[in-house]
Homo-oligomer: A and B are copies of this chain.
Amino acid sequence: MEKVNFAQKFSLFSDYCKPRIVGEFNDNYVKVSKHKGEFVWHSHKTEDELFMVTKGKLCIKLRDKDIWIEPGEFVIVPRGVEHCPVAEEETHIILIEPKSTVNTGDVEDKLTVKDLQWI
């Protein structure tokens, strides 16, 4: 049982759109991921997804509006809601979601991560 420092974890990788696990509690993972550019439109059928940001600015595009989050803020995307995360500059994201959650949800894409790893 040790604490986790987000900046230290983000210093260990540089690729985009590839989440890594940094914590596990109950049936959830805490993940970190770097983003730049537009991700892929998708939704998660049975999972709500919590987004936080530690650096940069993340736009969660929804079909009817955009929600911008910065460090010190979070947003929860409910199950079934189509969304597309977009970052204009390099942005460091924390995700908290059920262990079953796949990064591209119900969409099979080249960005789909099938071998989620701890870091």
A52 to chain B, nearest CB (A): 9
Determine if B50 and A1 form an interchain contact, defined as CB atoms under 8 angstroms apart.
Answer: no
A12 to chain B, nearest CB (A): 15
List which A25-70 residues lie within 8 A (CB) of chain B.
25-28, 30, 47-50, 54, 62, 67-69
Copies of this chain, count = 2
A68 to chain B, nearest CB (A): 7
Interface of A is mostly: strand
Stretch touching chain B among A13-21, A73-81, A103-111: A73-81
Supposing A1-B62, A75-B1 touch, asked if A26 and B28 sit within 8 A by C-beta, the answer is yes
Please name 10 pairs of A and B residues whose Cβ atoms are closer than 8 Å in the assembled complex, sorted by A.
A1-B81, A3-B75, A4-B73, A5-B72, A5-B73, A6-B72, A26-B27, A28-B28, A30-B74, A96-B96
